[in-house]
Structure 1
Amino acid sequence: FSCNSFAFSKQQMGTVINLAGKQRMLTQKMSKEILLIAKGIDVDANRANLKKTADLFDKTLKGLVDGDASLGLPKTTDAAILAQLGKVSELWAAFKPNVDAAIAGAPGKAVLEKVAAQNLPLLKNMNKAVQMYAKMSGSNLDPAMATTINLAGKQRMLTQKMTKELLLIANGIDVDANKANLRKTVGLFERTLKGLFDGDADLGLPGTKDAAIRAQLEVVQGLWNEYKPVLDKADTSAAGLAKAAKLNIPLLKEMNKAVKMYEKSVK
Protein backbone atom coordinates (compact mmCIF):
# COMPACT_ATOMS: atom_id res chain seq x y z
CA PHE A 1 0.00 0.00 0.00
CA SER A 2 1.41 3.36 -0.96
CA CYS A 3 0.36 6.78 0.23
CA ASN A 4 3.03 8.41 -1.84
CA SER A 5 0.62 9.89 -4.31
CA PHE A 6 -0.59 12.21 -1.58
CA ALA A 7 2.84 13.81 -1.53
CA PHE A 8 2.18 15.08 -5.06
CA SER A 9 -0.36 17.79 -5.75
CA LYS A 10 -2.72 17.28 -8.68
CA GLN A 11 -0.69 19.69 -10.78
CA GLN A 12 2.56 17.94 -9.87
CA MET A 13 1.01 14.61 -10.73
CA GLY A 14 -0.02 16.00 -14.11
CA THR A 15 3.54 17.20 -14.70
CA VAL A 16 5.03 13.86 -13.68
CA ILE A 17 2.72 11.91 -16.00
CA ASN A 18 3.37 14.40 -18.80
CA LEU A 19 7.18 14.37 -18.52
CA ALA A 20 7.46 10.64 -17.86
CA GLY A 21 5.20 10.23 -20.87
CA LYS A 22 7.36 12.56 -22.91
CA GLN A 23 10.31 10.24 -22.24
CA ARG A 24 8.56 7.61 -24.38
CA MET A 25 8.57 10.08 -27.24
CA LEU A 26 12.23 10.93 -26.71
CA THR A 27 13.27 7.26 -27.11
CA GLN A 28 11.66 7.32 -30.55
CA LYS A 29 12.90 10.80 -31.45
CA MET A 30 16.50 9.81 -30.69
CA SER A 31 16.17 6.67 -32.77
CA LYS A 32 14.67 8.69 -35.61
CA GLU A 33 17.50 11.23 -35.44
CA ILE A 34 20.13 8.48 -35.58
CA LEU A 35 18.37 7.05 -38.66
CA LEU A 36 18.13 10.47 -40.33
CA ILE A 37 21.88 10.89 -39.81
CA ALA A 38 22.45 7.43 -41.30
CA LYS A 39 20.39 8.43 -44.35
CA GLY A 40 22.42 11.63 -44.72
CA ILE A 41 19.39 13.87 -44.14
CA ASP A 42 20.18 17.27 -42.52
CA VAL A 43 23.11 15.63 -40.78
CA ASP A 44 24.45 18.59 -38.78
CA ALA A 45 21.02 19.69 -37.62
CA ASN A 46 20.11 16.14 -36.65
CA ARG A 47 23.35 15.67 -34.73
CA ALA A 48 22.55 18.82 -32.76
CA ASN A 49 18.96 17.63 -32.25
CA LEU A 50 20.12 14.19 -31.18
CA LYS A 51 22.44 15.63 -28.57
CA LYS A 52 19.62 17.80 -27.20
CA THR A 53 17.16 14.92 -27.17
CA ALA A 54 19.57 12.59 -25.38
CA ASP A 55 20.48 15.26 -22.83
CA LEU A 56 16.81 15.94 -22.10
CA PHE A 57 16.05 12.23 -21.75
CA ASP A 58 18.94 11.88 -19.32
CA LYS A 59 18.00 14.97 -17.31
CA THR A 60 14.34 13.95 -17.07
CA LEU A 61 15.16 10.39 -16.03
CA LYS A 62 17.39 11.68 -13.24
CA GLY A 63 14.72 14.26 -12.37
CA LEU A 64 12.02 11.61 -12.03
CA VAL A 65 14.23 9.72 -9.60
CA ASP A 66 15.70 12.58 -7.56
CA GLY A 67 13.36 15.48 -8.31
CA ASP A 68 14.28 18.45 -10.50
CA ALA A 69 12.94 21.89 -9.67
CA SER A 70 13.81 23.26 -13.12
CA LEU A 71 11.54 20.64 -14.67
CA GLY A 72 8.90 20.94 -11.94
CA LEU A 73 9.46 17.32 -10.95
CA PRO A 74 9.06 16.14 -7.37
CA LYS A 75 11.25 13.29 -6.15
CA THR A 76 9.70 9.85 -6.67
CA THR A 77 9.50 7.91 -3.42
CA ASP A 78 7.43 4.91 -4.51
CA ALA A 79 9.75 1.88 -4.33
CA ALA A 80 8.14 -0.02 -7.21
CA ILE A 81 8.34 2.98 -9.53
CA LEU A 82 11.93 3.63 -8.51
CA ALA A 83 12.78 0.01 -9.33
CA GLN A 84 11.15 0.43 -12.74
CA LEU A 85 13.08 3.65 -13.36
CA GLY A 86 16.22 1.72 -12.41
CA LYS A 87 15.45 -0.71 -15.23
CA VAL A 88 15.03 2.20 -17.61
CA SER A 89 18.39 3.60 -16.49
CA GLU A 90 20.10 0.28 -17.26
CA LEU A 91 18.54 0.13 -20.73
CA TRP A 92 19.48 3.75 -21.31
CA ALA A 93 23.10 3.04 -20.38
CA ALA A 94 23.10 0.31 -23.05
CA PHE A 95 21.41 2.52 -25.67
CA LYS A 96 23.51 5.64 -25.13
CA PRO A 97 26.58 4.37 -27.07
CA ASN A 98 24.41 4.34 -30.22
CA VAL A 99 23.70 8.01 -29.66
CA ASP A 100 27.37 8.75 -29.09
CA ALA A 101 28.32 6.87 -32.27
CA ALA A 102 25.87 8.88 -34.37
CA ILE A 103 27.06 12.15 -32.86
CA ALA A 104 30.69 11.21 -33.56
CA GLY A 105 30.30 9.99 -37.14
CA ALA A 106 28.10 8.17 -39.63
CA PRO A 107 26.43 5.30 -37.77
CA GLY A 108 27.11 1.99 -39.53
CA LYS A 109 24.71 -0.90 -39.97
CA ALA A 110 25.76 -2.48 -36.66
CA VAL A 111 24.70 0.67 -34.79
CA LEU A 112 21.41 0.83 -36.68
CA GLU A 113 20.68 -2.79 -35.87
CA LYS A 114 21.33 -2.08 -32.20
CA VAL A 115 19.03 0.93 -32.35
CA ALA A 116 16.36 -1.26 -33.95
CA ALA A 117 16.77 -3.93 -31.27
CA GLN A 118 17.14 -1.69 -28.22
CA ASN A 119 14.76 1.22 -28.73
CA LEU A 120 11.53 -0.65 -28.05
CA PRO A 121 12.60 -2.23 -24.74
CA LEU A 122 13.61 1.28 -23.65
CA LEU A 123 10.23 2.63 -24.78
CA LYS A 124 8.24 -0.20 -23.21
CA ASN A 125 9.95 0.02 -19.86
CA MET A 126 9.50 3.78 -19.82
CA ASN A 127 5.85 3.25 -20.67
CA LYS A 128 5.52 0.85 -17.76
CA ALA A 129 6.76 3.58 -15.44
CA VAL A 130 4.21 6.02 -16.91
CA GLN A 131 1.43 3.55 -16.27
CA MET A 132 2.60 3.09 -12.69
CA TYR A 133 2.51 6.85 -12.14
CA ALA A 134 -0.93 7.04 -13.74
CA LYS A 135 -2.21 4.29 -11.46
CA MET A 136 -0.70 5.95 -8.42
CA SER A 137 -2.44 9.18 -9.37
CA GLY A 138 -5.79 7.42 -9.21
CA SER A 139 -6.46 8.86 -5.80
CA ASN A 140 -6.12 12.51 -6.78
CA LEU A 141 -6.58 12.84 -10.53
CA ASP A 142 -9.83 11.98 -12.29
CA PRO A 143 -9.13 8.62 -14.00
CA ALA A 144 -10.59 9.77 -17.32
CA MET A 145 -8.32 12.82 -17.23
CA ALA A 146 -5.30 10.70 -16.30
CA THR A 147 -6.04 8.45 -19.30
CA THR A 148 -6.56 11.46 -21.57
CA ILE A 149 -3.23 13.05 -20.57
CA ASN A 150 -1.52 9.68 -20.88
CA LEU A 151 -2.90 8.84 -24.34
CA ALA A 152 -2.63 12.37 -25.71
CA GLY A 153 0.96 12.24 -24.48
CA LYS A 154 1.46 8.89 -26.13
CA GLN A 155 0.44 10.46 -29.46
CA ARG A 156 3.63 12.53 -29.28
CA MET A 157 5.58 9.31 -29.09
CA LEU A 158 3.67 7.81 -32.01
CA THR A 159 4.59 10.75 -34.28
CA GLN A 160 8.22 9.85 -33.71
CA LYS A 161 7.74 6.08 -33.75
CA MET A 162 6.08 6.10 -37.16
CA THR A 163 8.80 8.35 -38.55
CA LYS A 164 11.42 6.03 -37.07
CA GLU A 165 9.68 3.04 -38.69
CA LEU A 166 9.63 4.76 -42.07
CA LEU A 167 13.36 5.47 -41.68
CA LEU A 168 14.14 1.91 -40.62
CA ILE A 169 12.48 0.83 -43.88
CA ALA A 170 14.48 3.46 -45.77
CA ASN A 171 17.70 2.19 -44.16
CA GLY A 172 16.85 -1.40 -45.13
CA ILE A 173 16.45 -2.65 -41.55
CA ASP A 174 13.81 -5.39 -40.96
CA VAL A 175 11.77 -3.97 -43.82
CA ASP A 176 8.71 -6.25 -43.68
CA ALA A 177 8.44 -6.13 -39.90
CA ASN A 178 8.74 -2.37 -39.92
CA LYS A 179 6.12 -2.01 -42.64
CA ALA A 180 3.75 -3.98 -40.40
CA ASN A 181 4.77 -1.92 -37.36
CA LEU A 182 4.23 1.29 -39.30
CA ARG A 183 0.71 0.26 -40.29
CA LYS A 184 -0.09 -0.49 -36.65
CA THR A 185 1.36 2.78 -35.39
CA VAL A 186 -0.55 4.79 -37.99
CA GLY A 187 -3.77 2.97 -37.07
CA LEU A 188 -3.29 3.64 -33.37
CA PHE A 189 -2.49 7.32 -33.89
CA GLU A 190 -5.57 7.72 -36.05
CA ARG A 191 -7.83 5.91 -33.62
CA THR A 192 -6.53 7.82 -30.59
CA LEU A 193 -6.93 11.17 -32.32
CA LYS A 194 -10.53 10.30 -33.12
CA GLY A 195 -11.02 9.14 -29.53
CA LEU A 196 -9.62 12.38 -28.14
CA PHE A 197 -12.22 14.24 -30.19
CA ASP A 198 -15.27 12.06 -29.74
CA GLY A 199 -14.45 9.52 -27.05
CA ASP A 200 -13.46 5.86 -27.30
CA ALA A 201 -14.76 3.56 -24.58
CA ASP A 202 -12.23 0.81 -25.30
CA LEU A 203 -9.36 3.26 -24.95
CA GLY A 204 -10.96 4.82 -21.87
CA LEU A 205 -11.22 8.22 -23.55
CA PRO A 206 -14.20 10.39 -22.64
CA GLY A 207 -13.78 12.74 -25.61
CA THR A 208 -13.15 16.47 -25.47
CA LYS A 209 -15.80 19.15 -25.10
CA ASP A 210 -13.43 22.07 -24.47
CA ALA A 211 -13.60 24.23 -27.62
CA ALA A 212 -10.00 25.46 -27.39
CA ILE A 213 -8.60 21.94 -27.05
CA ARG A 214 -10.81 20.72 -29.90
CA ALA A 215 -9.49 23.55 -32.07
CA GLN A 216 -5.95 22.46 -31.22
CA LEU A 217 -6.80 18.87 -32.11
CA GLU A 218 -8.07 20.19 -35.47
CA VAL A 219 -4.61 21.65 -36.10
CA VAL A 220 -3.15 18.21 -35.37
CA GLN A 221 -5.72 16.62 -37.69
CA GLY A 222 -4.74 18.97 -40.52
CA LEU A 223 -1.06 18.03 -40.27
CA TRP A 224 -1.99 14.39 -39.93
CA ASN A 225 -4.02 14.51 -43.14
CA GLU A 226 -0.90 15.77 -44.88
CA TYR A 227 1.52 13.25 -43.36
CA LYS A 228 -0.61 10.11 -43.44
CA PRO A 229 -0.40 9.46 -47.23
CA VAL A 230 3.42 9.26 -47.01
CA LEU A 231 3.12 6.70 -44.23
CA ASP A 232 0.30 4.74 -45.85
CA LYS A 233 2.50 4.22 -48.90
CA ALA A 234 5.65 3.75 -46.78
CA ASP A 235 7.10 6.25 -49.24
CA THR A 236 10.89 6.13 -48.83
CA SER A 237 11.65 8.15 -51.96
CA ALA A 238 13.72 11.29 -51.44
CA ALA A 239 10.51 13.33 -51.66
CA GLY A 240 8.70 11.06 -49.20
CA LEU A 241 11.50 11.23 -46.66
CA ALA A 242 11.81 14.99 -47.10
CA LYS A 243 8.10 15.31 -46.35
CA ALA A 244 8.43 13.05 -43.32
CA ALA A 245 11.39 15.07 -42.06
CA LYS A 246 9.43 18.28 -42.56
CA LEU A 247 6.08 17.24 -41.04
CA ASN A 248 6.88 14.99 -38.10
CA ILE A 249 8.13 17.73 -35.78
CA PRO A 250 5.23 20.16 -36.39
CA LEU A 251 2.88 17.21 -35.78
CA LEU A 252 4.72 16.45 -32.54
CA LYS A 253 4.70 20.09 -31.43
CA GLU A 254 1.02 20.66 -32.14
CA MET A 255 0.18 17.42 -30.34
CA ASN A 256 2.30 18.56 -27.43
CA LYS A 257 0.33 21.81 -27.27
CA ALA A 258 -2.84 19.77 -26.86
CA VAL A 259 -1.25 17.75 -24.05
CA LYS A 260 -0.32 20.95 -22.24
CA MET A 261 -3.87 22.23 -22.64
CA TYR A 262 -5.26 19.04 -21.10
CA GLU A 263 -2.74 19.38 -18.30
CA LYS A 264 -3.73 22.99 -17.64
CA SER A 265 -7.40 22.05 -17.58
CA VAL A 266 -6.82 19.95 -14.44
CA LYS A 267 -8.36 21.91 -11.62
Structure 2
Amino acid sequence: MNKNSANKTGNGGMVSSRKLFKRRAILMGGGIFASMLFVNPTDLLAQAEHSDGPRRINLSGRQRMLIQRAGKFVCLAYQNPDPAPLLAAAAETLALHQTAEAGLKDGDEELGLEPETNTSVLSALTRANNAFAPFGQTIRDAIERRRVEQEHLQAISDLNGPALTEMDAAVNLIERVYKSAELSEQMAMLINISGRQRMFNQRLVLLSCLTRSAAISGDARQELFRTMYRFSLSLNILNRVTPGALQGAKSQPIIERLNSVQVDWAALRERLSTDLRITEDGSVEQILHRNERAEELLTRMNEIVLLYEEAAE
Protein backbone atom coordinates (compact mmCIF):
# COMPACT_ATOMS: atom_id res chain seq x y z
CA MET A 1 0.00 0.00 0.00
CA ASN A 2 1.19 3.53 -0.70
CA LYS A 3 2.42 4.88 2.63
CA ASN A 4 1.23 8.35 1.70
CA SER A 5 -2.20 7.29 0.49
CA ALA A 6 -3.93 8.48 3.63
CA ASN A 7 -2.89 12.08 2.99
CA LYS A 8 -2.60 12.28 -0.77
CA THR A 9 -5.61 14.62 -1.01
CA GLY A 10 -5.42 18.26 -0.09
CA ASN A 11 -7.82 17.86 2.83
CA GLY A 12 -5.48 16.15 5.27
CA GLY A 13 -6.78 14.21 8.24
CA MET A 14 -10.50 14.71 7.60
CA VAL A 15 -10.39 12.95 4.24
CA SER A 16 -8.02 10.37 5.69
CA SER A 17 -10.46 9.58 8.47
CA ARG A 18 -13.37 9.29 6.08
CA LYS A 19 -11.43 6.90 3.86
CA LEU A 20 -10.32 4.80 6.81
CA PHE A 21 -13.84 4.69 8.23
CA LYS A 22 -15.14 3.54 4.85
CA ARG A 23 -12.53 0.79 4.82
CA ARG A 24 -13.52 -0.32 8.33
CA ALA A 25 -17.21 -0.24 7.37
CA ILE A 26 -16.51 -2.42 4.34
CA LEU A 27 -14.42 -4.82 6.41
CA MET A 28 -17.26 -5.07 8.92
CA GLY A 29 -19.78 -5.75 6.16
CA GLY A 30 -21.80 -2.66 7.05
CA GLY A 31 -25.04 -1.46 5.56
CA ILE A 32 -28.76 -1.92 6.04
CA PHE A 33 -28.48 -4.62 8.70
CA ALA A 34 -25.18 -3.50 10.26
CA SER A 35 -25.54 0.23 10.85
CA MET A 36 -24.56 -0.19 14.48
CA LEU A 37 -20.98 -1.13 13.58
CA PHE A 38 -19.41 2.35 13.83
CA VAL A 39 -15.79 2.19 14.89
CA ASN A 40 -13.33 5.06 15.23
CA PRO A 41 -11.54 5.26 11.84
CA THR A 42 -8.27 6.37 13.39
CA ASP A 43 -7.86 2.83 14.73
CA LEU A 44 -6.75 1.83 11.24
CA LEU A 45 -3.97 4.39 10.81
CA ALA A 46 -1.28 2.06 12.11
CA GLN A 47 -2.16 -0.62 9.56
CA ALA A 48 -1.07 1.33 6.49
CA GLU A 49 2.59 0.36 6.59
CA HIS A 50 2.27 -3.35 7.32
CA SER A 51 1.71 -6.54 5.35
CA ASP A 52 -1.83 -7.12 4.13
CA GLY A 53 -1.71 -10.83 5.01
CA PRO A 54 -4.02 -10.57 8.05
CA ARG A 55 -6.51 -8.52 6.06
CA ARG A 56 -6.45 -11.01 3.19
CA ILE A 57 -7.34 -13.84 5.54
CA ASN A 58 -10.09 -11.71 7.08
CA LEU A 59 -11.62 -10.55 3.79
CA SER A 60 -11.36 -13.87 1.99
CA GLY A 61 -12.89 -15.51 5.04
CA ARG A 62 -15.69 -12.98 5.04
CA GLN A 63 -16.62 -14.12 1.52
CA ARG A 64 -17.75 -17.43 3.03
CA MET A 65 -20.12 -15.54 5.30
CA LEU A 66 -21.45 -13.36 2.48
CA ILE A 67 -22.38 -16.43 0.44
CA GLN A 68 -24.54 -17.71 3.28
CA ARG A 69 -25.83 -14.22 4.05
CA ALA A 70 -27.07 -13.58 0.52
CA GLY A 71 -28.94 -16.88 0.50
CA LYS A 72 -30.34 -16.18 3.95
CA PHE A 73 -31.84 -12.85 2.93
CA VAL A 74 -33.50 -14.37 -0.13
CA CYS A 75 -34.97 -17.21 1.96
CA LEU A 76 -36.24 -14.76 4.58
CA ALA A 77 -37.77 -12.68 1.78
CA TYR A 78 -39.71 -15.77 0.69
CA GLN A 79 -41.12 -16.11 4.20
CA ASN A 80 -41.93 -12.41 4.63
CA PRO A 81 -45.05 -10.63 3.31
CA ASP A 82 -42.84 -7.60 2.57
CA PRO A 83 -39.79 -9.01 0.76
CA ALA A 84 -38.41 -5.69 -0.53
CA PRO A 85 -36.11 -4.76 2.42
CA LEU A 86 -34.69 -8.28 2.57
CA LEU A 87 -34.06 -8.40 -1.17
CA ALA A 88 -32.35 -5.01 -0.87
CA ALA A 89 -30.12 -6.50 1.83
CA ALA A 90 -29.35 -9.42 -0.49
CA ALA A 91 -28.35 -6.96 -3.23
CA GLU A 92 -26.10 -5.11 -0.81
CA THR A 93 -24.52 -8.40 0.23
CA LEU A 94 -23.78 -9.29 -3.40
CA ALA A 95 -22.17 -5.88 -3.89
CA LEU A 96 -19.89 -6.44 -0.89
CA HIS A 97 -18.96 -9.87 -2.23
CA GLN A 98 -18.18 -8.46 -5.67
CA THR A 99 -16.03 -5.65 -4.24
CA ALA A 100 -13.96 -8.05 -2.15
CA GLU A 101 -13.77 -10.58 -5.00
CA ALA A 102 -12.13 -7.97 -7.23
CA GLY A 103 -9.97 -6.56 -4.44
CA LEU A 104 -8.52 -9.92 -3.44
CA LYS A 105 -7.28 -10.40 -7.00
CA ASP A 106 -6.55 -6.94 -8.35
CA GLY A 107 -5.99 -4.97 -5.15
CA ASP A 108 -8.16 -2.27 -3.59
CA GLU A 109 -6.78 0.80 -1.84
CA GLU A 110 -9.88 1.33 0.29
CA LEU A 111 -9.73 -2.26 1.47
CA GLY A 112 -5.99 -2.00 2.04
CA LEU A 113 -5.15 -4.75 -0.45
CA GLU A 114 -2.28 -4.95 -2.90
CA PRO A 115 -2.76 -6.92 -6.14
CA GLU A 116 -2.37 -10.65 -5.56
CA THR A 117 0.75 -12.12 -7.17
CA ASN A 118 0.72 -15.72 -5.93
CA THR A 119 -0.43 -17.90 -8.83
CA SER A 120 -1.80 -20.64 -6.58
CA VAL A 121 -3.93 -18.14 -4.67
CA LEU A 122 -5.15 -16.56 -7.90
CA SER A 123 -6.15 -19.96 -9.24
CA ALA A 124 -7.99 -20.81 -6.02
CA LEU A 125 -9.84 -17.50 -6.10
CA THR A 126 -10.83 -18.12 -9.72
CA ARG A 127 -12.22 -21.54 -8.81
CA ALA A 128 -14.15 -19.97 -5.93
CA ASN A 129 -15.55 -17.25 -8.18
CA ASN A 130 -16.59 -19.81 -10.80
CA ALA A 131 -18.37 -21.90 -8.17
CA PHE A 132 -20.08 -18.79 -6.83
CA ALA A 133 -21.32 -17.61 -10.25
CA PRO A 134 -24.48 -19.79 -10.56
CA PHE A 135 -25.34 -19.18 -6.92
CA GLY A 136 -24.92 -15.44 -7.37
CA GLN A 137 -27.08 -15.52 -10.49
CA THR A 138 -29.86 -17.18 -8.52
CA ILE A 139 -29.73 -14.38 -5.95
CA ARG A 140 -29.74 -11.74 -8.70
CA ASP A 141 -32.70 -13.35 -10.41
CA ALA A 142 -34.78 -13.20 -7.24
CA ILE A 143 -33.77 -9.57 -6.73
CA GLU A 144 -34.63 -8.60 -10.30
CA ARG A 145 -38.02 -10.36 -10.15
CA ARG A 146 -38.71 -8.67 -6.80
CA ARG A 147 -40.12 -11.91 -5.49
CA VAL A 148 -38.77 -15.27 -4.42
CA GLU A 149 -40.04 -18.51 -5.90
CA GLN A 150 -39.59 -22.07 -4.67
CA GLU A 151 -37.14 -22.63 -7.52
CA HIS A 152 -34.85 -19.96 -6.05
CA LEU A 153 -34.80 -21.72 -2.70
CA GLN A 154 -34.06 -25.06 -4.32
CA ALA A 155 -31.17 -23.53 -6.27
CA ILE A 156 -29.82 -21.85 -3.13
CA SER A 157 -29.98 -25.19 -1.33
CA ASP A 158 -28.18 -26.96 -4.19
CA LEU A 159 -25.56 -24.31 -5.03
CA ASN A 160 -24.50 -22.70 -1.79
CA GLY A 161 -22.56 -25.80 -0.68
CA PRO A 162 -20.24 -25.98 -3.71
CA ALA A 163 -19.69 -22.21 -3.61
CA LEU A 164 -18.84 -22.37 0.08
CA THR A 165 -16.50 -25.35 -0.34
CA GLU A 166 -14.38 -23.64 -3.00
CA MET A 167 -14.21 -20.38 -1.07
CA ASP A 168 -13.20 -22.22 2.09
CA ALA A 169 -10.40 -23.94 0.17
CA ALA A 170 -9.19 -20.55 -1.08
CA VAL A 171 -9.19 -19.09 2.44
CA ASN A 172 -7.22 -22.01 3.84
CA LEU A 173 -4.66 -21.64 1.05
CA ILE A 174 -4.35 -17.90 1.71
CA GLU A 175 -3.76 -18.67 5.39
CA ARG A 176 -0.93 -21.06 4.50
CA VAL A 177 0.65 -18.72 1.95
CA TYR A 178 0.65 -15.63 4.17
CA LYS A 179 2.03 -17.26 7.30
CA SER A 180 5.47 -15.76 7.84
CA ALA A 181 7.81 -14.36 10.43
CA GLU A 182 5.52 -11.31 10.59
CA LEU A 183 2.30 -13.36 10.79
CA SER A 184 2.61 -16.36 13.09
CA GLU A 185 0.87 -19.64 12.40
CA GLN A 186 -1.29 -19.18 15.49
CA MET A 187 -2.43 -15.67 14.51
CA ALA A 188 -3.21 -16.73 10.95
CA MET A 189 -5.27 -19.61 12.34
CA LEU A 190 -7.10 -17.37 14.82
CA ILE A 191 -8.09 -14.88 12.11
CA ASN A 192 -9.32 -17.71 9.90
CA ILE A 193 -11.27 -19.54 12.61
CA SER A 194 -12.85 -16.40 14.06
CA GLY A 195 -13.79 -15.35 10.54
CA ARG A 196 -15.32 -18.75 9.88
CA GLN A 197 -17.60 -18.25 12.87
CA ARG A 198 -19.32 -15.47 10.90
CA MET A 199 -20.11 -17.99 8.16
CA PHE A 200 -21.46 -20.54 10.66
CA ASN A 201 -23.64 -17.79 12.14
CA GLN A 202 -25.29 -16.94 8.83
CA ARG A 203 -25.44 -20.57 7.72
CA LEU A 204 -27.47 -21.46 10.79
CA VAL A 205 -30.16 -18.93 9.90
CA LEU A 206 -30.12 -19.97 6.24
CA LEU A 207 -30.52 -23.66 7.08
CA SER A 208 -33.19 -22.92 9.66
CA CYS A 209 -35.10 -20.87 7.08
CA LEU A 210 -34.75 -23.48 4.34
CA THR A 211 -36.05 -26.28 6.56
CA ARG A 212 -39.25 -24.28 6.97
CA SER A 213 -39.66 -23.83 3.24
CA ALA A 214 -39.51 -27.57 2.44
CA ALA A 215 -36.83 -26.71 -0.11
CA ILE A 216 -34.27 -29.17 1.20
CA SER A 217 -34.20 -32.69 2.53
CA GLY A 218 -34.22 -33.83 6.13
CA ASP A 219 -30.43 -34.05 5.95
CA ALA A 220 -30.41 -30.28 6.34
CA ARG A 221 -31.63 -30.67 9.90
CA GLN A 222 -28.56 -32.77 10.67
CA GLU A 223 -26.39 -30.21 8.88
CA LEU A 224 -27.88 -27.51 11.06
CA PHE A 225 -26.98 -29.46 14.21
CA ARG A 226 -23.49 -30.13 12.81
CA THR A 227 -23.04 -26.41 12.17
CA MET A 228 -24.08 -25.60 15.73
CA TYR A 229 -21.55 -28.15 16.99
CA ARG A 230 -18.79 -26.69 14.81
CA PHE A 231 -19.56 -23.16 16.03
CA SER A 232 -19.26 -24.33 19.65
CA LEU A 233 -16.06 -26.26 18.92
CA SER A 234 -14.42 -23.32 17.15
CA LEU A 235 -15.43 -20.95 19.95
CA ASN A 236 -13.73 -23.27 22.44
CA ILE A 237 -10.58 -23.29 20.30
CA LEU A 238 -10.51 -19.49 20.22
CA ASN A 239 -10.91 -19.33 23.99
CA ARG A 240 -8.15 -21.89 24.54
CA VAL A 241 -5.55 -20.58 22.08
CA THR A 242 -5.94 -16.80 22.38
CA PRO A 243 -4.28 -16.31 25.80
CA GLY A 244 -1.11 -18.03 24.60
CA ALA A 245 -1.03 -16.39 21.18
CA LEU A 246 -1.55 -12.86 22.48
CA GLN A 247 -0.18 -11.41 25.66
CA GLY A 248 -1.50 -8.74 27.99
CA ALA A 249 -3.36 -5.77 26.59
CA LYS A 250 -3.89 -7.31 23.16
CA SER A 251 -5.59 -10.44 24.45
CA GLN A 252 -7.84 -8.91 27.10
CA PRO A 253 -10.45 -7.20 24.86
CA ILE A 254 -10.67 -10.31 22.69
CA ILE A 255 -11.12 -12.63 25.67
CA GLU A 256 -13.81 -10.35 27.11
CA ARG A 257 -15.72 -10.39 23.83
CA LEU A 258 -15.33 -14.14 23.45
CA ASN A 259 -16.83 -14.62 26.91
CA SER A 260 -19.75 -12.40 25.95
CA VAL A 261 -20.25 -14.29 22.70
CA GLN A 262 -20.23 -17.58 24.63
CA VAL A 263 -23.25 -16.45 26.66
CA ASP A 264 -25.18 -15.11 23.66
CA TRP A 265 -24.38 -18.20 21.61
CA ALA A 266 -25.65 -20.54 24.32
CA ALA A 267 -29.00 -18.73 24.29
CA LEU A 268 -29.30 -18.73 20.49
CA ARG A 269 -28.27 -22.39 20.25
CA GLU A 270 -30.97 -23.38 22.73
CA ARG A 271 -33.63 -21.48 20.79
CA LEU A 272 -32.59 -23.03 17.48
CA SER A 273 -32.49 -26.52 18.98
CA THR A 274 -35.92 -26.07 20.54
CA ASP A 275 -37.37 -24.82 17.25
CA LEU A 276 -36.12 -27.91 15.44
CA ARG A 277 -37.32 -30.35 18.08
CA ILE A 278 -40.81 -28.91 18.29
CA THR A 279 -41.73 -28.28 14.67
CA GLU A 280 -40.42 -27.55 11.22
CA ASP A 281 -42.99 -24.79 10.91
CA GLY A 282 -42.61 -21.37 12.38
CA SER A 283 -44.16 -17.96 12.17
CA VAL A 284 -42.47 -15.22 10.18
CA GLU A 285 -42.00 -13.32 13.43
CA GLN A 286 -40.19 -16.27 15.02
CA ILE A 287 -37.84 -16.68 12.07
CA LEU A 288 -37.05 -12.96 11.97
CA HIS A 289 -36.49 -12.93 15.72
CA ARG A 290 -33.91 -15.71 15.41
CA ASN A 291 -32.26 -13.71 12.64
CA GLU A 292 -32.10 -10.61 14.84
CA ARG A 293 -30.32 -12.56 17.57
CA ALA A 294 -27.91 -13.99 14.99
CA GLU A 295 -27.23 -10.48 13.66
CA GLU A 296 -26.31 -9.30 17.15
CA LEU A 297 -23.93 -12.23 17.48
CA LEU A 298 -22.49 -11.51 14.02
CA THR A 299 -21.73 -7.93 15.07
CA ARG A 300 -19.66 -9.20 17.99
CA MET A 301 -17.89 -11.78 15.88
CA ASN A 302 -16.97 -9.07 13.36
CA GLU A 303 -15.42 -7.04 16.16
CA ILE A 304 -13.41 -10.05 17.32
CA VAL A 305 -12.07 -10.80 13.84
CA LEU A 306 -10.92 -7.20 13.46
CA LEU A 307 -9.22 -7.30 16.85
CA TYR A 308 -7.30 -10.41 15.81
CA GLU A 309 -6.37 -8.76 12.52
CA GLU A 310 -5.19 -5.58 14.21
CA ALA A 311 -3.23 -7.55 16.82
CA ALA A 312 -1.40 -9.30 13.99
CA GLU A 313 -0.46 -6.09 12.18
* TM-score calculated relative to the size of structure 2: 0.77
**1:255 match:** 301
Within the candidate set 186, 197, 200, 1:155 is matched to 197
Q: Indicate how the Cα distance of structure 1 residues 212 and 251 shifts in structure 2: closer, same or farther if over 3 A, else same.
A: same
Q: Decide which structure has the larger Cα Rg and report it.
A: 2
Contact 2:105 2:116 in 1 (8 A): yes
Instruction: Give 2:39's aligned residue.
Output: none
- Equivalent residue letter for 2:209: L
Corresponding residue number in structure 1 for 2:289: 243
Who is 1:188 aligned against? 230
Q: 1:105 aligns with which of 121, 133, 146?
A: 146
1:153-189 Cα offsets, whole Å, 9 max, x none, are 0001100011111011011122411100000000010
2-side partners of 1:178 and 1:207: how far apart? 36
Q: How many equivalent residue pairs?
A: 256
Which consecutive segments of 4 or more residues in structure 1 shift more than 3 A?
205-209
Give the equivalent residue in structure 1 for 2:120.
80
Unaligned runs of 5+ in 2: 1-48
Secondary structure of the corresponding residue to residue 73 of structure 1:
coil
Kept after mapping to 2: 8 A contact 1:208/1:214? no
Flag the 1:191–1:208 CA change in 2: closer, same or farther, 3 A: farther
SS of residue matched to 2:179:
helix
Tell me, yes or no, if the aligned pair for 1:36 and 1:42 is still in contact at 8 Å: no
Alignment match, 1:223? 264
**Which of 50, 59, 62 does residue 22 from structure 1 map onto?**
62
Deviations 1:76-108 (A, max 9, x none): 111111111111222232222211222122221
Change (3 A) 1:54 1:41: farther
Q: Which residue of 2 aligns with 1:55?
A: 95
Cα deviation digits, residues 242-266 of structure 1 (max 9, x gap): 3212111111111010111111111
Q: Indicate how the Cα distance of structure 1 residues 17 and 95 shifts in structure 2: closer, same or farther if over 3 A, else same.
A: same
Residues 1:65 and 2:105 are matched in the alignment: yes
Distance 1:242 1:166 in 2: 11
Deviation at 1:124, TM superposition (A): 1.0
Q: Helix, strand or coil for the counterpart of 1:139? A: coil
- Match of 1:266, as an amino acid? A
Percent of aligned positions that are identical = 26
Asked whether 1:38 is paired with 2:78, we answer: yes
**SS of residue in 1 equivalent to 2:110:** helix
Deviations 1:213-241 (Å, cap 9, x if unpaired)? Answer: 11111221232122111221344422531
CA contact (8 A) 1:168 1:175 kept: no
Would you say the 8 A contact 1:28–1:161 is kept in 2?
Answer: yes
Structure 2 residue matching 1:70: 3-state secondary structure: coil
Higher mean displacement: 166-175 or 49-58: 166-175
Counterpart of 2:294 in structure 1: which amino acid?
N
CA deviations 1:135-167 (Å, max 9, x no partner) are 011223100111111000000110001111101
- Counterpart of 2:215 (choices 173, 198, 212) is 173
Do the aligned partners of 2:264 and 2:297 also contact (CA within 8 Å) in 1? yes
User: 2:282 is aligned with what amino acid?
Assistant: S
Partner of 2:130: 90
8 Å contact kept, 1:67–1:75? yes
| Secondary structure at the counterpart of residue 256 of structure 1 | helix
Output the aligned Cα RMSD: 2.1
What is the rounded CA distance, in whole Å, between the counterparts of 1:216 and 1:38 in structure 2? Answer: 34
